[in-house]
Structure 1
Amino acid sequence: MNRSAAEKEYEVNYYEIDYNEKLLITGLVNYFGDIATRHFENVGGSLTYSKEKGMAWVLYKWNIDINRYPKYGQKIKVRTNAYSFRKFYGYRTFEAFDEKDNIIARANSIWLLIDTNKRRILRIGEDMYKIFGLTKKDNKPLFIKKVKLPEKFSIEKSFNVRYSDIDTNRHVNNVKYIDWILETIPLDIILKYTIKHINITYEKEALYGEKIKIFTELKKQDEEGYISLHKIVDEKGKELSVIEAIWGIEEK
């Protein structure tokens, strides 16, 4: 048994698609999150195990590339690999394949193990190496570039964190940040282009009831699409997340 990897098949449901009958990016990222959780369960961890230990894996960074979005009713296979550990960081890769085994999306991610009671970062212990079948030699990091934000933003929106935004760690689920930034993109861009690449850093957790603000700036890239840059802050102005998305016309 390869403890460091797992895969699962998903069928694109109606409630996960856009007006073009294609999977929303949030649906794809939810698949990634689901297979990561199920992988942890399959090799001996679980949500119950995490609660008993008073710890949890939380996402720090995403770097996702999408070649094509599957359509309603299509089946895709998602594979994940616990790539390496390095002190406080867990590195995990993802791949998504269509029914003909063509890769339609890839992602690298960086995770942190936290103490859920004290809300502080933990050094990765021997139990995690054993659970995922890794050794101290598996310590090569995955590099995810830092998002460079503009000096000024032309779009601004505010949201209140809803109960439905909260996950089992009692903070906003990472996918909700993508939902939020999509609400700041003009509809004509949403209808014509799709996200081909997204880079996200989560700096600070957001909690139920908080008021958050999103700043967005769009940069045109000829007729090929746009780059959107986003900064999400809490009501005190503290940075919660920075995001870069590259929008393009999807291949047929």
Structure 2
Amino acid sequence: MPAPRAAARLTSGQLVFGKPEEAKGGRSLLWSCDSGRCVGVPMKAVNGSVKLNGAAVAGVRQVHAPPQPTSSMDDDGGAFRLGKFVEGRLVYRQQFVIRSYEIGPDRTATMETIMNLLQETALNHVMCSGLAGDGFGATRQMTLRKLIWVVTRINIQVDKYSRWGDVVEIDTWVASSGKNGMRRDWIIRDRNTKNMIARATSNWVMMNRETRKLSKIPEEVRQEVLPFYLDRSIIAADASGGGGSKIEKLTDSTAEHIRSGLAPRWSDMDVNQHVNNVKYIGWILESVPLDVLEDYHLTSITLDYRRECRQSQLLESLTSMTSSAASEPPLPASSRCSSDLQSTHLIRQQDDRAEIVRARAEWSCKGQEGRSSSPGMKL
């Protein structure tokens, strides 16, 4: 019987192999990408048994494998594109350079940039784990059942924004969340200092991509992802600005600023045929006063996603700003900031005012750099 023409993982969990390919001398090679670098492993089939490097392997089960490597994976930039597993394959780590088009007027990375990097790391985590189907971060069993992941809440806390040319290192891992959800956490560090500069946590549920209805996690999917669960939280559920506390709904009477006529573009849509969750940050900021954007850093934001948004829907952005209860040490007289700020936001459909996203944010005066509660924290 010929060797399987699908991917296989050893029961020890040490190697993930892709589709065999022919090598010189008539050998077949399987590619191992377990350590973040990819190498070819000779294999052959003898009387139905798979042999790797001449040794028989028992108990092989089929899974999907990451894409076959190219020569570019072995150069110095390979780590920036692929990342690697640490802590026994429970944590996925990837590095990114902050590009010129990812910075804002302050010459630092924007909150949208941070969210995009978090999303990219999460998707690469799924791909390199060998579980990826043909969906947007979906596993093979999810793809077979027409299921996709949708985010219900995300909280990001930033101690320091990176600048153009800085290199950041992002760790991510997953855990269960209730009976039918998954939690994904991230840590962002400065690669040079290893100081933690941001952290994030999120909750995800499954949706049928055709009916657009939420779904329970099938047992087959649960068994796929269970070996990757790590029971570790980077942000406590009751932490300030994050966690599970309810975000109050804004109305026309409670909102101080309303921006109407926001139109999703084709480029705002993702492969799951709805607006990418990162795009809402820009619409939220559309109704934030300009002097706040000029004088304050956005240090924390929680987004509570209520429903999908399609391209045909016009949106409204509502914002209400409040001052923090107590300002810390007095600010310089030249500063226009009087205290830190908190804000509440709502993105809704313009025609029927149906809620799409609620959000809560915290803002720190730009004259208060270095006064964060956990600057330069190492983890």
Taking structure 2 as the reference length, the TM-score comes to: 0.62
Q: What is the aligned partner in structure 2 of residue 228 from structure 1? A: 343
3-state DSSP of counterpart to 2:222: helix
| 164 and 136 in structure 1: CA distance in 2 versus 1, 3 angstrom threshold | closer
Identity, in percent, stands at 25
Q: Structure 1 residue 30 and structure 2 residue 116: aligned?
A: yes
Q: Deviations over 1:69-96 (max 9, x none)?
A: 0111000001111022432211111110
Partner of 2:147: 55
Partners of 2:230 and 2:197 lie apart in 1 by 31
Runs of 4+ aligned structure 1 residues displaced above 6 Å come to 135-141
Long gaps (5+) in structure 2: 1-13, 15-87, 238-242, 328-337, 371-379
Of structures 1 and 2, the one with the larger relative CO (CA 8 A, separation 6+) is 1
**TM-fit CA distance, 1:177:** 0.6
After TM superposition, give the deviation of residue 191 of structure 1 in Å.
1.4
Q: Do the aligned partners of 1:85 and 1:124 also contact (CA within 8 Å) in 2? A: no
- Deviation of 1:62 after TM superposition, in Å, equals 0.8
Matched residues in 1 for 2:267 and 2:341: separation?
A: 30
Match of 1:157 among 259, 271, 278: 259
Which residue of 2 is the match for residue 67 of structure 1?
A: 159
Q: Is the 8 A contact 1:44 1:131 kept in 2?
A: no
Deviations 1:118-161 (A, max 9, x none): 11112122333333344899699954222124561121112111
- Tell me if structure 1 keeps the 8 A contact 2:112–2:281: yes
Gaps spanning 5+ residues in structure 1: where?
A: none
Whether the aligned pair in 1 keeps the contact of 2:284 and 2:346 (CA below 8 Å) is: no
Distance 1:155 1:182 in 2: 11
> Which of 54, 69, 79 pairs up with 2:171?
79
Q: Which digits, 9 at most, give the CA deviation of each residue in 1:43-90, with x for residues without a partner? A: 123351545541111111011111000111000001111022432211
Aligned with 1:14 (options 96, 100, 106) = 100
> What secondary structure sits across from 2:352 in the alignment?
coil
The one of 28, 45, 49 aligned to 2:131: 45
Aligned to 2:189: 97
Do 1:23 and 1:72's aligned partners in 2 also have CA atoms closer than 8 Å? yes
Q: Single out whichever of 168-177 and 37-46 deviates more from structure 2.
A: 37-46
Say if 1:8 and 1:137 are closer, same or farther in 2 by CA, change over 3 A. closer
> 217-226 or 239-248: which moved more?
217-226
Q: Which letter does structure 1 place at the counterpart of 2:148?
A: A
Please identify the structure whose Cα radius of gyration is greater. Answer: 2
Structure with the bigger percentage of strand: 1
> After alignment, is 46-55 or 181-190 more displaced?
46-55
Q: Which one of the candidate residues 199, 222, 232 is aligned to 1:129?
A: 222
Q: Which moved more, 1:192-201 or 1:51-60?
A: 51-60
User: What's 2:292 paired with?
Assistant: 189
Q: Please tell me the residue identity of whatever aligns with 1:126.
A: E
- CA distance in structure 2 between the partners assigned to 1:62 and 1:24 by the alignment: 16
Q: Tell me the secondary structure at the aligned position of residue 219 of structure 1.
A: strand
| Superposition deviation, residue 20 in structure 1 | 1.8
- Which of residues 153, 166, 170 in structure 1 aligns to 2:273? 170
Larger mean Cα displacement after TM superposition, 81-90 or 70-79: 81-90
Q: Structure 1: how far apart are the matches of 2:133 and 2:126?
A: 9
Separation (CA, whole Å) in 1 of partners of 2:353 and 2:298: 27
1:117 counterpart = 2:233: no
Following TM superposition, by how much is the alpha carbon of 1:203 offset from its aligned partner in structure 2, in angstroms? Answer: 0.3
SS at match of 1:174: coil
Note the alpha carbon deviations across 1:149-183, whole angstroms, 9 max, x for none.
Answer: 45611211121111111111110111111110111
Displacement of 1:32 after TM fit?
0.7
Aligned partners of 2:177 and 2:220: how far apart in 1? 12
Preserved CA contact (<8 Å) 2:147 2:208:
yes
Is the CA contact (8 Å cut-off) linking 2:175 and 2:229 kept in structure 1? Answer: no
